[in-house]
Amino acid sequence: MKRSKLEVIYDILKIIRKHNNSIKPTPLLRYSNLSSNSFAEYLKDLLEKELIKEINDKKGRKHITLTDKGFRYLEKYKVILGFIDEFEL
């Protein structure tokens, strides 16, 4: 069954959190079960929404971490789903 957009975002954020809030893009792509194109779109979307941010380590390698808003999304995910269901949105 196709995952909803909210669910995909939740899964991506959850993977980042599970990896001590720091993961490189390639393993994140692998764990997220998305095509490269979809993953790139989601990554761009999440950066724009400021749910995640990119940081470079000392060796210049890119890592992805959650922002406070990203953590809040994870906290509120079930509430968001419940709300949408309750009001049939």
Partner 1 sequence: MPPSLPNFLQPEELIYTLVILTLCLIIYFKTKELYELSEHEGIRFFRYTFLLFGLSYVFRFVLHIIMITFFSNGFYLPRNFVGPISIVPVSYLSTLALFFLVYSLIWRKIEKRKFLIFSNSIALVFSLVAFLTRSNQIISVLQVSLIVFIIIVLLLKKKFSQTKLLYLLIVIFWVINLLLLGPKRMLAPEIDIFLKIISIGLFSIICLKVIKWVK
Residues making contact with partner 1 (CB under 8 A): 6, 49, 69, 72-73, 76, 79-80, 82-84, 86-89
**H/E segment holding residue 69:** helix 68-86
Distances (CA, A) of 2 to 23, 28, 30, 45: 25, 19, 17, 19
Shortest Å distance, C-beta 80 to partner 1: 5
Contact 27, 37 (CB under 8 A): no
Shortest Å distance, C-beta 43 to partner 1: 16
Shortest Å distance, C-beta 14 to partner 1: 14
Q: What is the 3-state secondary structure (H, E, C) of 14-30?
A: HHHHHCCCCECHHHHHH
Nearer to partner 1, 3 or 72 (CB): 72
